[in-house]
Structure 1
Amino acid sequence: MVGPTPRGLKAPGREGWLYSAVPERSVPVNPAAPVASTGELLGHPKGLYVCFLTEMWERFAFYGMKALLFLYLTQHHKFSDANGYLLLGTYAGLAYALPLLGGLLADRYLGMRKAVVFGGLLLVFGQLGMAYTGEAASGIQGQGVVDGFAVQVMYFALALIGVGVGFLKPNISTIVGRLYADTDPRRDSAFTIFYMGINVGATLSSLVVGYVGIQYGWGYGFGLAGVMMALGLVQFIVGRKHLLGQAEPADPEALKAPLFAGLSREWLIYLGSLVLTVVVWQVLQTRINFAPLTALAGGHEVTLTEVVALVLGLGLGVWFIRLLLTDLSRVEKGRMVVLMALIVISALFWGLYEQSYGPWVAMAERTMDLTTFGLTWNAAQTTAFGAIFVILFSLPFAWLWPKLDKRGLNPSYPAKFGWGLVFCGLAFGVLAFSTGTAGEDGLVSVWWMILAYAVLVAGEMVLSPIGLSAVTTLSIKRAVGLMMGAWFLFSAFGEIIAGRMGTWAAIEPEADGSISSAKALVVYGDVFTDMMWIGLAAGVLMFALTPVLKRLMKE
């Protein structure tokens, strides 16, 4: 690895960004540990476990709902595959982008505790809103007669969840950092414990919410996610004393003082966030038809989220070019160019990776024998395999890099990104190959899905935490926050890309509304082969560029 691993990056994985910014945002008010104390549990402040449980149940709710979402859209509301994939990508993209705003508002005004409580409330209402499913659509998938009111309730519930995640997600990890002094040797251990809460929540959610939603009804699955989020929020509120006053507003008096029309800044933030929720509600379902402008190419329809993402990407590009034209040294310019290249390519990785919640779930539902060791899974539950492998692989990969470094074999940042993309491509190769192994019943063994997840998560371990380290190592000091924001933003772009790429695997049902496993296997075999080559080609490109990028980092 080039450069040191940032504090708090003990446990790798996608969710590592939750605490990657700890060195920037969670520096305690005083360099020493807080004077106040409510005692310790297993060698750590009790506040750590308050945050652990809050985040665990938030991730339980988020990933449980996400595991069910595509199946719910296509089976209950009869969305076409393409529209289901697009909404999944649009929603997830917004959920990963909005934490930038929530973190900023908490830092400057609300404080982390108030932001977590407000975000938690929005999440509870959103998850419980998803529990209202209305009447099931009638007719054939993609052409069904839908319950319009129920669909609008769903869109608004998704908007509430997206904005709620924006307030809760970045701030709960910041509180953990503030419970420890900068020099406290327990700090890294604390984030490892916290990270385990994330993965325990993600694993349990797919298994439990996935089971309840499929077995007893969609509303019960979503409702369970909301109830558990509510319990997590209650224990956070009850346990506030264990946060040692480290999550309060920077200026409480200014926050409470009337600012406009007799309303305080705090209430204006809350009201503004509700307005933002209404905006997101509309953004999620707005499409723009560019056919008149692209008639020669056949024309196509894009989501408003994709347009916003393009504008933000162009804006970031303009800012970056202007930054390079300032008085940076040659070395600083080179390192910033390398960092931006890594950030941009990460969007492609996440675009491929997040197929696991779309086409992978659809493949499990339509073409797989989901029985192993006498147990029968459902398609939503297969998403738990990813979280399980993250838990299994975290310590081995944490052990691997120092060992390779001692032998002079530790790959550079660009090379690790190349390996991450190669593993990602190979995961799709596993599933593409599996489509030719169907048994007499026309189904493929779920063990192929398990193997694909193992390979995919190996790629995640190589790329995700390394990207976070690269941001803090390669960026110039005055731009670390913005470059970390760029990393988050391109993670959101990856979700949107995933939705668009997922449409390649869309399948039109037969006249009777059925989709045969044979037809589905052909589609998934072709699409996953294409995605395999995209991942492998991107990985090979990164290997080819590695010498140049390494030189830029050192010049």
Structure 2
Amino acid sequence: MRANQPTAVAREVLGHPRALPYLFATEMWERFSYYGMRSLLVLYMLKHLLDPERMAQVWGLAAFKQALEVVFGPLAAQPFASQIYGFYAGLVYLTPIAGGLLADRVFGQRRMVLAGAALMAVGHFMMAFEPLFLFALGVLILGNGAFKPNISTQVGALYAQGDPRRDRAFSIFYVGINLGAFLTPFICGTLGELYGWHYGFAAAGVGMTLSLVIYLFATPYLPPDAFAKRDASPPLDAQSWRAIIALLILFLPVSLFWATYEQQGNTITLWADQQTDRHIDLLLLAFDIPVTWFQSFNPLMIFVFTPFILALWRRQGAREPSTVTKLAIGCLLNAASWLVMYAAATDTGGGQASWLWLLGFFAVLTVGEIYLSPTSLSLVTKVAPTSLLSMLMGVWLATSFAGNFLAGYLGTLWSSMTHGSFFLLLAALSGAAGLVIALLTRPLRDVLKG
């Protein structure tokens, strides 16, 4: 059974619990570190680390490549980099299942967030040392598993069951995520591309350290860990089991959304590097846009578009789409964004495309993300049984594990398909996911209310 009252301190800031701004800032700097490292990862591997002489210095990398080649066949540098990216980005979202379970059953959300933040800070600084590359990724994966499900769960715990501010709170929280993601290419990306890869990774470590410090200051205002509520909870009733099954049904189509969405850190980075005319001439200012700066388009648009979309939902009133309908709309808009890239690939005829095509792509992709990602987090906190909330948040975040793992495999096709065909494939996968969710809307309406 879900609690009927919020557990957080009642003091409010701008109509929301006082803890929300602290969690906003904590997540902002954590995402700064994550996306800073991600914006550099593929370029770092292709332009530096996967040089044969350097590869030999990285502990375990040759053995890892041999293991992948047993399954996928010989891997050139680009497919190998794509597979590493997919494994890393995928496992980042698998470990939250264990992190959520440990929070629910053993340590509580607060201690897991603190442990995760500390591990990730260490992992980012380890990235500055080439021989530790794979071990650094492993530490980052474990840290994210402890941090990610429990910070999101704490946002949901600030609001009573049925509180209409919950969806909006997660959208505000999502702006924090994307503010960090927006800033990081200009800092970590610029340092990495222009001054040395390790400076970029170290900057990500500084961001994660700031996240940890802010969370420590937030402690007096956070909702308490749910041990008392969990111990008092009765066995799961039929409605709770139906909600869990419904979330699992939605797992596959949402995973397909993330499989296509996550190409922006992989093959879209390569498109920006190799197939995009990045020159800007603004009268007194002329320069080439650094490749990593394109990673700022999406988060910038998140916090520009979010207020307008929230206003649209409020204006729709009773006609506001249900949460499940929003998931379907998000997938279909994601499919449309890849049709923009298909148009870019066919329009150029193999030459370089204007950077404005990427601007249009990110605009459509971003609106789809706003419809799907924060509302899906809100959905889990609405319907998941309290005794399993953190674990089920981890299970839901594992949609990104499945999606990123598939994204890594899809990225290996970049070198063997025409770019137009590749973008059409991504559009088809996301479009199919949207249609499946749309067909499930009516059957799941009574189970997943909201």
Task: Assess same fold via TM > 0.5.
Answer: yes
Q: Does 1:344 align with 2:344?
A: no
Point out where structure 2 has 5 or more consecutive residues left out of the alignment.
51-75, 229-235
What is the alpha-carbon distance in structure 2 between the residues aligned to residue 82 and residue 170 of structure 1? 30
Q: Does 1:230 align with 2:209?
A: yes
1:33, 1:179 within 8 Å by CA — same for their partners in 2?
no
2:373 is matched with 464
- Rg larger in 1 or in 2? 1
What is the alpha-carbon distance in structure 1 between the residues aligned to residue 327 and residue 162 of structure 2? 31
1:119, 1:163 within 8 Å by CA — same for their partners in 2?
yes
Which secondary structure does the structure 1 equivalent of 2:347 belong to?
coil
1:438 to 342, 348, 360: 348
2:59 is matched with none
2:27 is matched with 55
2:423 is matched with 528
Deviations 1:210-251 (A, max 9, x none): 1111111111100111123223324544x26x5258557969
What is the alpha-carbon distance in structure 2 between the residues aligned to residue 528 and residue 181 of structure 1? 43
Which is further off, 494-503 or 527-536? 527-536
What is the alpha-carbon distance in structure 2 between the residues aligned to residue 443 and residue 185 of structure 1? 47
1:73 is matched with 45
Deviations 1:172-200 (A, max 9, x none): 44555667888999988766654433221
2:256, 2:429 within 8 Å by CA — same for their partners in 1?
no
1:205: how far off?
0.9
Q: Relative to 1, partners in 2 of residues 1:375 and 1:247: Cα closer, same or farther, differing over 3 Å? A: farther
Deviations 1:363-408 (A, max 9, x none): 11111012345453222221111111211221222222343354x4
1:171 to 150, 155, 160: 150
1:527: how far off?
0.8
1:262 is matched with none
1:92 is matched with 89
Q: Which amino acid aligns with 2:425?
A: D
Q: Relative to 1, partners in 2 of residues 1:434 and 1:341: Cα closer, same or farther, differing over 3 Å? A: same
When normalised by structure 1's length, the TM-score is 0.64
1:106 is matched with 103
What is the alpha-carbon distance in structure 2 between the residues aligned to residue 51 and residue 447 of structure 1? 34
2:339 to 400, 416, 429: 429
What is the alpha-carbon distance in structure 2 between the residues aligned to residue 363 and residue 347 of structure 1? 23
Q: Relative to 1, partners in 2 of residues 1:494 and 1:179: Cα closer, same or farther, differing over 3 Å? A: closer
Q: Which amino acid aligns with 2:116?
A: G
Q: Does 1:215 align with 2:194?
A: yes
Deviations 1:285-324 (A, max 9, x none): xxxxxxxxxxxxxxxxxxxxxxxxxxxxxxxxxxxxxxxx
Deviations 1:107-151 (A, max 9, x none): 443344433332222112110111123xxxxxxxxxxxxxxxx2x
What is the alpha-carbon distance in structure 2 between the residues aligned to residue 475 and residue 41 of structure 1? 27
Once the two structures are aligned, what percentage of the paired residues are identical? 35
2:103, 2:390 within 8 Å by CA — same for their partners in 1?
no
2:122 is matched with 125
- 5 Å-filtered alignment, 1:430-509, equals 430-438=340-348, 442-471=351-380, 484-506=393-415
Q: Does 1:162 align with 2:74?
A: no
What is the alpha-carbon distance in structure 1 between the residues aligned to residue 203 and residue 227 of structure 2? 36
Which secondary structure does the structure 1 equivalent of 2:42 belong to?
helix
2:291 is matched with 379
Q: Which amino acid aligns with 1:57?
A: W
Point out where structure 1 has 5 or more consecutive residues left out of the alignment.
1-22, 35-39, 134-149, 252-325, 508-521
Q: Which amino acid aligns with 1:448?
A: W
Q: Does 1:361 align with 2:273?
A: no
Which secondary structure does the structure 2 equivalent of 1:442 belong to?
coil
What is the alpha-carbon distance in structure 2 between the residues aligned to residue 94 and residue 81 of structure 1? 20
Q: Relative to 1, partners in 2 of residues 1:506 and 1:403: Cα closer, same or farther, differing over 3 Å? A: same
Q: Relative to 1, partners in 2 of residues 1:184 and 1:425: Cα closer, same or farther, differing over 3 Å? A: closer
What is the alpha-carbon distance in structure 2 between the residues aligned to residue 481 and residue 44 of structure 1? 22
Q: Which amino acid aligns with 1:213?
A: G
What is the alpha-carbon distance in structure 2 between the residues aligned to residue 425 and residue 85 of structure 1? 21
2:191, 2:199 within 8 Å by CA — same for their partners in 1?
yes
Using CA pairs under 8 Å that are at least 6 residues apart, name the structure with larger relative contact order, 1 or 2. Answer: 2
Which is further off, 384-393 or 154-163? 384-393
1:115, 1:167 within 8 Å by CA — same for their partners in 2?
yes
1:260 is matched with none
1:336: how far off?
6.4
- 5 Å-filtered alignment, 1:274-289, equals none
- 5 Å-filtered alignment, 1:31-42, equals 33=10
Q: Relative to 1, partners in 2 of residues 1:327 and 1:96: Cα closer, same or farther, differing over 3 Å? A: closer
What is the alpha-carbon distance in structure 2 between the residues aligned to residue 327 and residue 183 of structure 1? 19
What is the alpha-carbon distance in structure 2 between the residues aligned to residue 404 and residue 367 of structure 1? 41
Q: Does 1:243 align with 2:205?
A: no
What is the alpha-carbon distance in structure 2 between the residues aligned to residue 175 and residue 53 of structure 1? 14
Q: Which amino acid aligns with 2:351?
A: G
Q: Relative to 1, partners in 2 of residues 1:24 and 1:200: Cα closer, same or farther, differing over 3 Å? A: farther
Q: Relative to 1, partners in 2 of residues 1:437 and 1:57: Cα closer, same or farther, differing over 3 Å? A: same
1:370, 1:376 within 8 Å by CA — same for their partners in 2?
yes
2:176 is matched with 197
1:142 is matched with none
The number of residue pairs the alignment matches comes to 413
2:182, 2:300 within 8 Å by CA — same for their partners in 1?
yes
Which secondary structure does the structure 1 equivalent of 2:418 belong to?
helix
2:326, 2:375 within 8 Å by CA — same for their partners in 1?
yes
